[in-house]
Amino acid sequence: MASQEMEQLVRREYKEGFVTDIESDTVPPGLDETTIAFISHKKGEPEWMLEWRLKAYHQWLKMTPPSWAHLDYPPIDYQAISYYSAPKRPEDRPQSLDEVDPKLLETYEKLGIPLHERAALAGVAVDAVFDSVSVTTTFKDKLHEAGVIFCSISEAIRDYPELVKQYLGSVVPQGDNYFAALNSAVFTDGSFVFVPEGVTCPMELSTYFRINAANTGQFERTLIVCESRAQVSYLEGCTAPQRDENQLHAAVVELVALEDASIKYSTVQNWYPGDENGKGGIYNFVTKRGDCRGDRSHISWTQVETGSAITWKYPSCLLRGKDSIGEFYSVAVTNGRQQADTGTKMIHIGEGTRSTIVSKGISAGRSDQSYRGLVKVGPRAKGARNYTQCDSLLIGDTCGAHTFPYQEIGNSTATVEHEATTSKIGEDQLFYCQSRGIAEEDAVNMIVNGFCKDVFQELPMEFAVEAEALLNVTLEGAVG
């Protein structure tokens, strides 16, 4: 394909890049104990929560940002960020969707996120987080009947303090890493899911995150707990407006699966990636970790990462329970000047634990992408097994694709396999499709989608289509 055409195709528009013009209540930039107290107060949190935040803050002050990732970005000025922004509205939370600012609803409509229950995707309950606050959660009553708690984390702290106290920070402690510590200090909202013993959540749960206000960081915190034999499937989606400044997103997600419990966590991340010269875009520093605490528990991460200027993200599994299972399926697409350093950690602690890693990376434009993974088998993990498949596809000669897989095996009964390939999009495949009359752009999409198939089929059905479409938009013909 002519490089001109390719250029054209690579320079795609960020479709979610609109700004919603609503009045918001934003604290001035800066971070100190007062900011944290303000956030805690705004959220009407109990004293213990504020203490928990301050403890994290003090740990954070002593830490330095990690430098080991294959990423290049200027130091972040944490005092230039605003740590709280909320759409202005009556003091009390809206009791129903009718009370929600219509502009806000419009925003979600534009994003294709149906907040109105009548328009909701069949069987999907949605929580939407706009800047720092949860706007609304749908299908609450129906979930309540089943015994499932699905609400914003702020509500959970107020309404279910004992549950939050028990589990918050139990998978990702406050001082786990630089960004987790920051999040623990200033997190503003996020989702809380609790599925009690023996309950299979009757519908898909979903949260959409959107950063709207300028100079605002988003620090959401999500906690999902499945008691024994409980099951849930959860999906998060993320978007942000097109702005010239870089915005920081530092989230923490904790999953706890007790005996025989199963959690499936899917992400479609489409934060604003910046323009083709690398101006603007979201800095996405995320700590996601699942704890397979009980025997035979199962945690599965699926991610489709197409957005963000910088991605630093390693959804992981602690396989502690006997015969527990961890999975990681990932498609990451980078284009323009995007940089992504992403992968997973599978920590095999218990006997008979199994993990599967399938990672598909597609680099185009002048982007740089790394897979970074750790498979660790401890001395007690008898018979542990891991299979890792890690493939990179390069589109164009100015991008980079890197693989850094760590294996630390301390048990002779473990079987660990890692396979990786890096290649450019197959010219013969393209030619074959074209010779069958398929336009090059469609051929590229077909091939890339085929390349990602193993991961897409792990997504909940409603979102697999969305993910494919997103991929096509991101790559729009980026071939040469």
Residue ranges that bind another protein, judged by CB under 8 A: 68, 70, 379, 392, 394-424
Cβ contacts of residue 424 below 8 Å, gap of 6+? 393, 394, 395
- Structure tokens given for 207: 């949260």
Rounded to whole angstroms, the Cα distance separating 183 from 31 reads 12
The 3-state DSSP class for residue 365 equals coil
Name the residue nearer to another protein (CB basis): 6 or 111.
6
Assess contact for 228 and 253: CB atoms under 8 A.
Answer: no
Length of the chain equals 480
Q: Closest distance between another protein and the C-beta of residue 14, in Å?
A: 24
First to last CA, the chain: 5
Best CA proximity match to 126, nearest among 33, 191, 69: 191
Name the residue nearer to another protein (CB basis): 167 or 314.
314
* Residue with token string 């995320």: 286
Q: Closest distance between another protein and the C-beta of residue 428, in Å?
A: 13
Name the residue nearer to another protein (CB basis): 114 or 405.
405
Q: Closest distance between another protein and the C-beta of residue 354, in Å?
A: 14
Name the residue nearer to another protein (CB basis): 228 or 422.
422
Q: Closest distance between another protein and the C-beta of residue 410, in Å?
A: 4
DSSP 100: S
Q: Closest distance between another protein and the C-beta of residue 65, in Å?
A: 16
Secondary structure (DSSP) of 59-78: HHHT------SS---PPP-T
Q: Closest distance between another protein and the C-beta of residue 365, in Å?
A: 11
Amino acid in position 397: D
Helices (H), 112-209: 140-146, 153-159, 161-167, 178-186
Assess contact for 31 and 186: CB atoms under 8 A.
Answer: yes
Name the residue nearer to another protein (CB basis): 73 or 404.
404
Q: Closest distance between another protein and the C-beta of residue 398, in Å?
A: 7
Name the residue nearer to another protein (CB basis): 140 or 424.
424
Assess contact for 113 and 99: CB atoms under 8 A.
Answer: no
Rounded to whole angstroms, the Cα distance separating 116 from 98 reads 9
Q: Closest distance between another protein and the C-beta of residue 346, in Å?
A: 13
Assess contact for 224 and 265: CB atoms under 8 A.
Answer: yes
Name the residue nearer to another protein (CB basis): 198 or 410.
410
Best CA proximity match to 441, nearest among 457, 425, 456, 455: 425
Name the residue nearer to another protein (CB basis): 93 or 382.
382
